[in-house]
Amino acid sequence: MSMDHFMEEVVVKRKNTVNRIVYALSWAVLVFSVFLAMMSFSGIMGQGGFNIYALVTTLVFGGTAVAIFLFHDRLLTEYEYTFTNGALDFAEVYNNRKRKSLGSLNVKTVDAFGKVNSGAFNRYLNMPGVKRMNWFLNREAELYFFFFSKDNSKKMIILEPSEELVGLIKLYIPHGVLQDH
């Protein structure tokens, strides 16, 4: 009887203080922009008739508030890797509330897997037409790459798995795919 291999891990930014400060400031700017948009909205139809300046001010501050509201959660991004018997699923999580699936990869079908600091990484990266997907947060971490072809295009995923996850991946990749030189 074979054993199932399952592992899920979340990659968080280690030095996150600046992002948290900017996130808090984004809420303050959001509230302030809404306030200014509401104040200028009331002046659109002023005593002298239509006021174009008040309309432009309302649109600028209202647009700023909407843009901040839609995108400020991205300041607190995490990546989630889920490994199940050779299939690796990737997701991007924004502020522990919104989850965006990035895709799946069967590690049995990759052409190369290895550390980013290996010579093989640069060889694959410098191939013409390679689409690079950076699904990591900590540049100082031990980064790994997958190189594969899908839909007639060459792709590379760069991620920061734990050593335990790397061990599971090595169990499923084909012979000769590991690039450790």
Tokens representing 2? 């074979």
Tokens representing 168? 């599971």
Query: Rounded distance, CA 19 to CA 100, Å?
Result: 20
CB 171 within 8 A of CB 5: yes
Of the chain, the end-to-end C-alpha distance in Å amounts to 35
- pLDDT number for residue 172: 95
pLDDT-derived band at 1, boundaries 50, 70, 90: very low
pLDDT-derived band at 181, boundaries 50, 70, 90: low
Backbone angles phi, psi at 61, to 5 degrees: -70, -35
- Please name the amino acid found at residue 37: A
Q: What is the pTM of this model?
A: 0.81
- Please name the amino acid found at residue 111: D
For tokens 């190369």, the residue is 112
- pLDDT number for residue 2: 61
Residue of 23, 8, 14, 20 lying closest to 137 (CA atoms):
14
**Model confidence pLDDT, tens digit, residues 8-46:** 999 999 888 998 899 999 999 999 999 999 999 888 876
- pLDDT number for residue 136: 96
**Model confidence pLDDT, tens digit, residues 152-180:** 899 999 999 999 999 999 999 999 898 87
Query: Rounded distance, CA 92 to CA 102, Å?
Result: 7
Query: Rounded distance, CA 140 to CA 115, Å?
Result: 13
**Model confidence pLDDT, tens digit, residues 40-99:** 988 887 667 788 888 999 999 999 999 999 999 999 999 999 999 999 999 999 998 899
CB 173 within 8 A of CB 113: yes
CA angle 124, 125, 128 (to 5 degrees): 90
